[in-house]
Amino acid sequence: MKIGILNSDTVQIDGAEKFGQYPEMFSKVFWAVDPKIQFKTYEVQFGEYPPNINECDAYLITGSKASSYDDVPWIYTLKEFIKELDQNKKKLIGVCFGHQIIAEALGGSVRKSPMGWHAGVDSILLNNHAIEYGDKDKKYNLVFSHQDEVDKLPRNATLIAESASCPIGMFLIENHIFCTQGHIELDRKFARMIYDFRKDQIGNTKHKYACETLDMKTDELEVANTLLNFLRK
């Protein structure tokens, strides 16, 4: 399987070079599950796209410091590409910003959360629509770092996981799109660097809580395996 990573940001935090950029982070976690997976990166933040959507078997949209509602050309171009993938039932995964921009591109909406920043390890609960992806009421612990949230799903989307802090935690669109607000790719040390970098935005109380939660067990490998099984269907 060949996954095209639609990279939507550049990591520019001092000291973070050892973790690589987001494509390297995603490759690492997926290779821990299946070392045979191939990847190709497209820097969509700079207007780079595959010449043909069949160049890869599936695509993944990364996180970003940008917002899905930003009035900038590359955001509009990415939304049009998402619509093309959807129309052709091409397999697509969205993580964090990817989760949000897919929702918005296909008829949902995204807003700044009235609860402010959601940072740290949080548990999202699978509902009865997630039978294929885990038992009902199963919890996944994932790293979160966002202030934007999906507040309205596209018409044909199905909510499969949620939490009090993240009401739309995961959703599906038919059998070809899987989106998650929680991260599978963030190393805990890198997550701590993000929280420290954004401490003034997050606030002292939430920053302290977020850092403390990084000691919790997380389920990124299990979710990565779930995503790969979804892509293989």
Report the CATH number at residue 84.
3.40.50.880
Distance of alpha carbon 27 from alpha carbon 37, whole angstroms: 8
Q: Taking the complete model, does pTM exceed 0.85, yes or no?
A: yes
The tens-digit pLDDT sequence of the chain (233 residues) is 999 999 999 999 998 899 999 999 999 999 999 999 999 999 999 999 999 999 999 999 999 999 999 999 999 999 999 999 999 999 999 999 999 999 999 999 999 999 999 999 999 999 988 877 766 678 999 999 999 999 999 999 999 999 999 999 999 999 999 999 999 999 999 999 999 999 999 999 999 999 999 999 999 999 999 999 999 98
pLDDT score of 137: 74
The reported pLDDT for the residue numbered 136 is: 67
Distance in angstroms (rounded) separating the CA atoms of residues 108 and 189 = 33
Write down the pLDDT at residue 69. Answer: 98
- Total count of domains within the chain: 1
- Pick left, alpha or beta for residue 41 (phi over 0 → left; psi -120 to 50 → alpha; otherwise beta): beta
- The pLDDT assigned to 135 comes to 65
d(CA 169, CA 66): 19
Instruction: Return d(Cα 137, Cα 106) in angstroms, integer.
Output: 28
pLDDT at 134: 65
Range of the structural domain that residue 101 is part of:
2-232
Q: Which of 194, 197, 189 is nearest to 218 (CA)?
A: 189
Count CA within 13 A, CB hemisphere, residue 226: 21
